[in-house]
């Protein structure tokens, strides 16, 4: 009999049950080593299309492919036991039709995702309903939507005018009605995000929105200080790992060049007969 405890991965219904009871904690990951650490502390891990920028150095989220997201999803699943794993649907993998969205989402679930995330307001409600009715849990994403950067004219906060606030609220209600279990609210005026959180039964996950949201998410590299000097206003840095990494690499380089590393304790001796 196994001596290991029976660890069960958090499910989408369990996430949704947190609404009104406790805050949901989420971060992003795209590799085993990061996912393994996050798994002890977060409720869900998102394999975000932000991987395009933090892992591949691309200028925005638009160029990452479905196949890349799928491989990163599989890696995160291998590195975790308890966190719910949610995969982003890349730009161009779901906007054409609900059928296209289903094929893409099913591909991500085949690679271990428990749910998918997609961007878009009321216009995506039909697609959300199509996916949910066919067994695919959907986390929606409204407000500031990075995949809409070209039509929005940049990464601009939303909900700051009466018209914009109404549009975002309408989007949230349409996505809730379509069956989305949760809605990411990004870059929204605080009061608008708070109003949406109390108006919908879906889980609201804030990123640059409001403490009133049902949970929060950040890009892990941003909050750990691994994204360089420029980060969004809404990011709080909980560490500066870039400095720590620089110091460690500098020390290693110095010891190699001065023949201080490796020491005998790091080497193998010849076996004696």
Integer-rounded Cα radius of gyration of the chain: 21
Q: Which residue has the tokens 């998918």?
A: 116
**Could you confirm whether 255 is annotated as catalytic?**
no
| Cβ–Cβ < 8 Å for 70, 89 | no
67 in a labelled binding site: no
50 in a labelled binding site: yes
170 in a labelled binding site: no
Angle at 136 between CA 91 and CA 33, to 5 degrees: 65
| List 129, 176, 186, 221, catalytic entry | 186
DSSP string, the chain: ---S----PPPHHHHHTTTTTS-EEEEE--SHHHHHHHTTT-SEEEE-TTHHHHTT--SSSTT--HHHHHHHHHHHHHT-SSSEEEEEPPTTSSSS-HHHHHHHHHHHHHTT-SEEEEE-SGGGHHHHHHHHTTT--EEEEEES-GGGHHHHTSS--B--SHHHHHHHHHHHHHHHHHT-SEEEEESB-HHHHHHHHHH-SSEEEEESS-TTSSEEEE-HHHHTT-S-S---TT---S--HHHHHHHHHHHHHHHHHTT-SS-GGGS-PPPP-
Binding residues: 49-50, 88, 117, 119
Binding residues for 3-methyl-2-oxobutanoate: 49-50, 88, 117
Binding residues for Mg(2+): 49, 88, 119
Residues recognised as catalytic: 186
């Amino acid at each position: 009999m196994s001596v290991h405890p029976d660890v069960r991965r958090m499910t989408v219904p369990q996430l949704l049950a947190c609404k009104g009871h406790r805050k949901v904690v989420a971060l992003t990951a795209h590799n085993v080593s990061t996912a393994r650490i996050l798994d002890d502390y977060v409720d869900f891990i998102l394999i975000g299309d932000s991987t395009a920028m933090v892992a591949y150095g691309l200028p925005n989220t638009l160029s990452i492919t479905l196949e890349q997201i799928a491989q990163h999803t599989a890696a995160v699943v291998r590195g975790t036991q308890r966190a719910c794993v949610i995969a982003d649907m890349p730009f161009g993998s779901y906007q054409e039709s609900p059928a296209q969205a289903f094929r893409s989402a099913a591909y991500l679930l085949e690679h271990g995702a428990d749910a998918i995330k997609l961007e878009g307001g009321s216009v995506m409600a039909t697609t959300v309903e199509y996916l949910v009715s066919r067994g695919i849990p959907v986390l929606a994403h409204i407000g500031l939507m990075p995949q809409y950067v070209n039509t929005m004219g940049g990464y601009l906060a939303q909900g700051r005018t009466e018209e914009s606030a109404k549009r975002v609220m309408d989007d949230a209600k349409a996505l809730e009605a379509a069956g989305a279990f949760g809605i990411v609210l990004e870059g929204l005026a605080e009061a608008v995000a708070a109003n949406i959180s109390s108006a919908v039964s879906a889980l609201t996950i804030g990123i640059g929105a409001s403490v009133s949201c049902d949970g929060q998410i950040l890009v892990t590299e941003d909050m750990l200080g691994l994204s360089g000097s420029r980060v969004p206003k809404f990011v709080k840095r909980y560490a500066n790992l870039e400095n720590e990494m620089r110091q460690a690499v500098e020390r290693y380089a110095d010891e190699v060049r001065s023949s201080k590393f490796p020491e005998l304790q790091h080497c193998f001796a010849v076996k004696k007969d």
